[in-house]
Amino acid sequence: MASTPTLSWFLPVLVACSGEAPDRGPDVPGNPRKVLVVGWDGAKPDSVQLASTPNLERVASWGGISYAASTQLSHATISAPGWASVLTGVEPEKHGVTFNSFYDERDASWLTFVQRARDAGLRTGVAAVWAEVATDIVEAGAADDTSVGGEDEVADWMATHIEADTFDVHFVHQDAPDRAGHDSGFYPDNPDYISAIEASDVRLGRLLDAIEARTDEDWLVAVTTDHGASGGGHGGMDADNQTIWTAFGTPGQEGEWILIDPNHLDVHPTVLDFLHIPVDKRSVGGVSQLP
């Protein structure tokens, strides 16, 4: 993989603290920047830590991971508000998605990072197990191509496109942990739940292998979840439901990112900053605001 600058400046919380992004200098000629964002729906941090997740750990070894990150804070911890916050970088009170339906109430002025990348002339791809992520939360026409299907189907589809250099910005939604949690409980001692997390990690590995097979490119990889859980469900506004994990890394760059009060809303501005696309200064992530 191509070398990248010091990692800490990618974090939007650091940008927010300083008020402006440091001058990173020009990109290395011939090293285009690319992004992969992967979401594991309903994967609790205590269970992710107990599961065997060598590929998530691979991402963390390229940057950092926090198991004490936060979800959005202004609405219930359910999937549609969560993924809309990850994709737009703002709270549900702003983007307007507050239930797993009523998507016509979404405030279209808060664009997803997929749409922002497409508007900047980049090629975009979305693969989702939960169709609403691809068809209702991500804007119509934001993705050059979309895959909706089973867990392995969407992961393999995206891995194939990474190998073929079809897209510059890639978003993959996996649903197995959430489904297993609803079926038999979001418990770290639930073998079915742990198995679903580990299967998601195996699929992540296929995507990472496809990235590492490429050369002369700079990649940002972000992996996160939409909510925590308590017992057999989720939606509460408490620590069990609002505490999550988030990982960022750049392949080929060993080191530790400094994660300051991380929130899954930080994915959006971190992606844009990495791609040198201006961040909407009305709000940055769920942590701070730029003037």
Task: Give pLDDT tens digits for 47-68.
Answer: 999 999 999 999 999 999 999 9
| Residue 92, pLDDT score | 87
Contact 235, 181 (CB under 8 A): no
Between residues 157 and 280, the one the model is more confident about: 157
Q: What is the pLDDT of residue 239?
A: 85
Q: Give the pLDDT confidence score for residue 260 in this predicted structure.
A: 78
Instruction: Quickly state the pLDDT bin for 31 (edges 50, 70, 90).
Output: low
Task: Give the per-residue pLDDT at 231.
Answer: 82
Looking at residue 268, what is its pLDDT?
94
pLDDT category at 258 given cuts 50, 70, 90 is confident
pTM for the whole thing?
A: 0.88
CB atoms within 10 A of CB 273: 21
User: Given the structure tokens 């942990």, which residue do they identify?
Assistant: 177
Q: Where in the chain are the domains? A: 32-274
Q: How far is it, in rounded angstroms, from Cα 197 to Cα 192?
A: 9
Is-contact 91 113, C-beta < 8 A?
no
Phi and psi of 244, rounded to 5°? -135, -165
Which helix H or strand E contains 170, and what residues bound it?
Answer: strand 169-174
**Exposed/middle/buried for residue 265 (C-beta within 10 Å: 0-12, 13-18, 19+):** buried
So what's the pLDDT on residue 284?
A: 52
Strands lying side by side in the sheet with 169-174: 63-70, 243-249, 218-224, 33-40, 169-174, 124-128, 145-148
Domain 32-274 has CATH 3.30.2130.30: no
For 96-118, what is the mean pLDDT? Answer: 86
- Expressed in angstroms, the distance from the first to the final Cα of the chain is 36
Q: Check residue 287 and give its pLDDT.
A: 38
Q: Determine contact, residues 248/79, Cβ cutoff 8 Å.
A: no
Poorest-confidence range of 32-41, 201-210, 234-243?
A: 234-243
What is the pLDDT averaged over residues 94-118? 87
Q: Is the pLDDT of residue 289 over 60?
A: no
Q: Is 282 exposed, middle or buried (0-12, 13-18, 19+ CB in 10 A)?
A: exposed
pLDDT of 229 above 90 = no
Confidence of residue 283 (pLDDT cuts 50, 70, 90): low
Mean of pLDDT values over 6-12:
40
Closest CA to 168 of 132, 116, 246: 116
Say yes or no to pLDDT of 22 above 80.
no
Task: Write out the H or E segment, with its range, that includes residue 89.
Answer: none
Confidence tier at 255 by pLDDT (50, 70, 90): low
DSSP-based three-state secondary structure for 106: coil
Lowest-pLDDT choice from 41-45, 273-277, 281-285: 281-285
Q: What is the mean pLDDT of residues 105-109?
A: 86
Q: Which residue has the higher pLDDT, 222 or 255?
A: 222
